[in-house]
Structure 1
């Protein structure tokens, strides 16, 4: 083995290898602590996904780790739901902002559960404020309490009243007049759960079946009438 090759190998052994930075795709925490929290997360995520289904440059994610700073895997949050305008739809293991034209999520939702602490929520607020979120909504389904923050210049500022508030980015409306939060699409249609949508589809299917049965009955009646006319020597086609 030549001296040059030996010295090269010694140099490689002596110099530490550059460590590959790992960005975990899970924080080890469950998506939700209870069925109520999970229902709200899925309702908001599902309806926002449908709302922007035809816009290829709006990405809606649920419980996805967001890394705003390259090289800093400890700086991360996983919003219950986040909406990012200006990036394409598609599967991701995490949202690495520097790989997405450095576009931060513009809208974030957090659904509270009894396990959420004030300290935890304060850290989330600081994170979202620091890294560019424009609209931040927090809903406590147990207490039916909704709060929102909107970016004004450099910081997120509290929205004074959330009742009938309309999101500047999403165009959806928040209604707090009832026993629980109601969300409405810009066309006035209420946000619905998968179960409610399934029930409506089943009702429409039953209505279509009833119409088919009614048409079949009318067709049978017409066939009977045509047969009787033919027995009487009358051609039904000549009557039309």
Structure 2
């Protein structure tokens, strides 16, 4: 007798964790993806209910493994941090990522980017930012009611959700956190850490030298006191 597969087994759907596309097409695109993701990670590190990810497949509809997108960077508020193979929205209290970033590369087509915008519009993204690092061109869309509307002027625009500011007035896009500190690359952060470590070492050495000088002065005072006692003078006696 041949046993029958259960309906659960027959209808089980897998949600692939990779779409076969590379994370980036060149070093410039990769640098911007990592700078934005890492700085947002640092910015929201204290909040356990903000999830930040890069190049993670997002499935908005349960039972549909064809409708999906992998934003270069996405941020979901109200979602716990943690490792994921993909972002299956129905497992995340049905919360769609509120903010997404796409970094253009020469390989991106207009049709491809239009499809992404339609996807983000349809599935509830609140803020969508598209940056072309080759042209230093930033576009943005903000949800108004049921649709994403274009942001007319992105220079010095402050993200309502992230509270970060975009500055396009220089040769290269600058992004500033709520503390007005610029987003930094990993190399820049390491350099700052090294500078701080060097400053701490210098301060520690200066404190050590000061401590040694104070100790030497104490020894001199002790020797002087001993000489005074040997001469019959009590150095501790008040005049």
- 2:10 partner SS: coil
Q: Where does residue 17 of structure 2 map in the other structure?
A: 25
- Aligned match for 2:110, one of 114, 118, 126: 118
Shift of 1:76: 0.5
Corresponding position: 1:158 with 2:139? no
Match of 2:190 in 1: 198
Measured after TM superposition, the shift of residue 161 of structure 1 is 0.2
1:101 to 1:228, Cα distance in 2 relative to 1, 3 A: closer
| 1:1-240 map, 5 Å | 9=2, 12=4, 18-233=10-225
CA distance in 2, matches of 1:70, 1:223: 72
Q: TM-score, normalised by structure 2?
A: 0.89
Q: Distance in 1 between matches of 2:107 and 2:66?
A: 22
Shift of 1:194: 1.4
- Provide the TM-score with structure 1 as the length reference: 0.89
Unmatched tracts of structure 2, length 5 or more: 228-234
For the residues of structure 2 that align with 1:221 and 1:134, how far apart are their CA atoms? 62
Q: 2:162 and 2:61 mapped to 1: Cα distance?
A: 26
Change (3 A) 1:215 1:66: same
Deviates more, 1:130-139 or 1:30-39: 30-39
Q: Structure 1: 5+ residue runs without aligned partners?
A: 1-5
Q: Please give the alpha-carbon distance, in whole angstroms, between the structure 1 residues aligned to 2:108 and 2:47.
A: 34
Aligned twin of 2:232:
none
Within 1, Cα distance between the matches of 2:77 and 2:203? Answer: 43
Task: Give the Å deviation of 1:234.
Answer: 5.9
Aligned residues: 227
Q: Take 2:216 and 2:10, find their aligned partners in 1: how far apart are those partners?
A: 87
SS at match of 1:216: helix
Give the deviation of 1:29 after TM superposition.
1.2
**Runs of 4+ residues over 6 Å off in structure 1:** none
State the 1:216 CA deviation.
Answer: 1.9
Residues 6-55 of structure 1 show CA distances to partners (whole Å, capped at 9, x for unaligned) of 5xx47x38x9x614211100011111111111111111111111111111
Q: Distance in 2 between matches of 1:178 and 1:208?
A: 33
DSSP-derived class of the 2:62 partner: coil
Aligned to 1:3: none
